[in-house]
Structure 1
Amino acid sequence: MILITGANGRPGSATVREFARRGTPVRALVRDPKKAKDLRALPGVDVVHGDMLWPETLESALAGVDRVLMISGAGPELLETQCTFIDAAIKAGVGHIVKFSGKDSVDGFDNEKFRSTRSHEQILRYLVASGMPWTLLRPSQFMHVYFEEVPDIAGSGELRLPLGDTTMAPIDIDDIAKISYAVLTTPGHEGKTYPMTGPEALTMTDIAGHISEAIGKPVRYRDVTSEEKRRAWLAAGYPPPRAGAFAQLFQERSRLGRSSVDLTTHERFGVEPTTFAQFARRYADVFRGATDYAVTPA
């Protein structure tokens, strides 16, 4: 049996949907069962309730599980959450953990500089030291994070971010889900790291142009300062630690300035990479402000 944790989140739910689409049974771990109605409606999906921080809640979820896709929400408890879960998985006899992490597409980005990214590096060291067979998935920025900018895009026709001429290479979560499915259902991935980006390095002016074309209305990029954007995030209800972490992240991206494209993992698993133009057309109603969307969990 394969278990996917964090199954109510964006990458987790996308991977669960990919299993359902392929007709492959999968178990989905959620912390809040009230939010799992859509997952329960999918064929072949066994939704279980548990908290990765509390091993006593995981016994039934881990029973009979051979492989796990380990995902949990970013935040101050990320390190403790995933290390606790690794211990529980070892105790339950799980044979392989596929850790979902991240790798910024910006050249020279150092994950050890920032708390959220540094936590992933610390978890990986813990996982390797545990002796558990492991695989690491390292996608770049999700295309879906641009949903966060919908209020400005739909309200004023502006994409406001503190990035200047920096390029990003965002990836579609559905591409990640296809790759995750392949890693979880085929042998030979132990000890391997799979980085992945989208197929293009784009400026925010490029991103705004693709959104504009998709929705049929002008959208322009307006460069703002990190402090201005931090205040906007706070006004939108972001917790202060999250708003501060985002501001630091964007400052570093702006300082470094250039992203590289890496499609080796797409090619390895035969996944056709989704362009941002295709993504924007698929979610045109979201970018118009006409359809609800899920915000990134705090």
Structure 2
Amino acid sequence: MILVTGATGLSGSMIIREFAQQNMSVRALFRNPDKAQQFHGLSDVELVQGDMLQPESLTAAFRDVERVLMISSARERMVQTQCGFIDAAKAAGVPHIVKYSGKESGVDFDPDKFRGTREHLEIERYLETSGLAWTHLRPSQFMQFYLPGTLAGVEAGQRELRMPIGDSRLSPVDIEDVAKVAVALMRSDGHEGKAYDMTGPEALSMKEIVEQISEATGIAFRYTEISLEEKLQELRAKGMPEPAIQTLNEIFAERSRRPESHVWLQTHRAFGVEPTSFLEFARRNAQAFLR
């Protein structure tokens, strides 16, 4: 049995749906029953309620599990949550954990300058020394983060992307590509002790991002370069918690210092997944960009 944690989040839900689409059995761990309702009616998806921070709640989730895809929110004590979960999985006899990690695409990006990458690396090291078989899946920034309604995406109704990273180029990846790779990885063998990095197929500036959104929607979007302080003030005005603002402060600052990005497609090729371009993504989500 395969277990996917964090099943109701953005990445987890797409992965669960990819399992269902491929008629593959999967067990989905969730905390909030209301959010888990999205999976009702999906055959081959077994829903199990539990909390990664409460090992006593995970007995049913771990039963007969051979491999876990470990996902949890980066905003909710990620190191404590995932390291504690690794201990609980080991105690339950789970042999193999695949960590859904992350890696910034910026050339010479310093992972110690951004809390998200620092924490992912800390958890990776903990998993590697746990005695369990391990694999890391490391997608870069997601294309979905540019959609309206996200904290750093296009301003809804204003047709504007406001970012403080100048002419820096990023290589965002479509989460649907990551979901396809995740399912292929979880259903095959030979991945122990390996790390799979993923980006999209192009390194794009923010100006190029909005040009492709404009082409996909037929409506003119614009990119406005703003200062880091302006962006942080906007996020505060939207009610973002201060710890999250400081996390974005770190990543925006480091992306400004590292204007070029890698393009890593080896993982797409290894698992036979065709990389989705940003233009293809924008066309698929044209209505969402226009809402």
TM-score (norm 1): 0.94
Confirm or deny: 8 A CA contact 1:98 1:137 kept in the other structure: yes
Deviation at 1:149, TM superposition (A): 6.2
Corresponding residue for 1:130? 130
Identity of aligned residues (%): 52
Corresponding residue for 1:156? 158
C-alpha distance in 1 between matches for 2:190 and 2:126: 22
Deviation at 1:155, TM superposition (A): 2.4
- 235, 239, 242: which one aligns with 1:237: 239
C-alpha distance in 2 between matches for 1:215 and 1:47: 37
Corresponding residue for 2:102? 102
Deviation at 1:132, TM superposition (A): 0.4
Cα deviations by residue, 1:6-59 (Å, 9 ceiling, x for unpaired): 001111111111110010110000111111111122111011111101101111
Cα deviations by residue, 1:196-221 (Å, 9 ceiling, x for unpaired): 10000000001001111122111111
* Amino acid in the other structure paired with 1:167: R
* Structure 2: runs of 5+ lacking an equivalent: none
Matched, 1:118 2:118: yes
C-alpha distance in 1 between matches for 2:155 and 2:213: 9
Residues 59 and 149 of structure 1, relative CA distance in 2, 3 Å threshold: closer
Deviation at 1:119, TM superposition (A): 1.2
Question: What secondary structure sits across from 2:136 in the alignment?
Answer: strand
- 276, 279, 282: which one aligns with 1:277: 279
Residues 159 and 118 of structure 1, relative CA distance in 2, 3 Å threshold: same
Question: What secondary structure sits across from 2:146 in the alignment?
Answer: helix
Confirm or deny: 8 A CA contact 1:234 1:243 kept in the other structure: yes
C-alpha distance in 2 between matches for 1:151 and 1:214: 16
Confirm or deny: 8 A CA contact 1:150 1:287 kept in the other structure: no
Question: What secondary structure sits across from 2:98 in the alignment?
Answer: strand
C-alpha distance in 2 between matches for 1:70 and 1:140: 17
**Equivalences for 1:191-202 in 2 at 5 Å?**
191-202=193-204
**Equivalences for 1:1-298 in 2 at 5 Å?**
1-75=1-75, 77-147=77-147, 148=150, 152-289=154-291
Provide the aligned C-alpha RMSD in A. Answer: 1.3
C-alpha distance in 1 between matches for 2:155 and 2:243: 25
Deviation at 1:116, TM superposition (A): 2.4
C-alpha distance in 1 between matches for 2:180 and 2:158: 35
Corresponding residue for 1:296? none
* Structure 1: runs of 5+ lacking an equivalent: 290-298
Greater per-residue helix proportion: 1
Residues 155 and 149 of structure 1, relative CA distance in 2, 3 Å threshold: farther
Corresponding residue for 1:295? none
Confirm or deny: 8 A CA contact 1:150 1:288 kept in the other structure: no
Question: What secondary structure sits across from 1:194 in the alignment?
Answer: strand
* Amino acid in the other structure paired with 1:85: F
Confirm or deny: 8 A CA contact 2:161 2:223 kept in the other structure: yes
Deviation at 1:104, TM superposition (A): 0.6
Question: What secondary structure sits across from 2:129 in the alignment?
Answer: helix
Deviation at 1:233, TM superposition (A): 1.3
C-alpha distance in 2 between matches for 1:6 and 1:268: 25
Cα deviations by residue, 1:102-160 (Å, 9 ceiling, x for unpaired): 01111111212222221111111111111100000011100001122698544222110
Which moves more between the two structures, 225-234 or 169-178? 225-234
Confirm or deny: 8 A CA contact 1:102 1:139 kept in the other structure: yes
* Amino acid in the other structure paired with 2:261: S
Cα deviations by residue, 1:56-103 (Å, 9 ceiling, x for unpaired): 111111111110000000025110000100011001111110001101
Deviation at 1:255, TM superposition (A): 1.0
Which moves more between the two structures, 18-27 or 239-248? 239-248
Residues 118 and 170 of structure 1, relative CA distance in 2, 3 Å threshold: same
* Amino acid in the other structure paired with 2:45: V
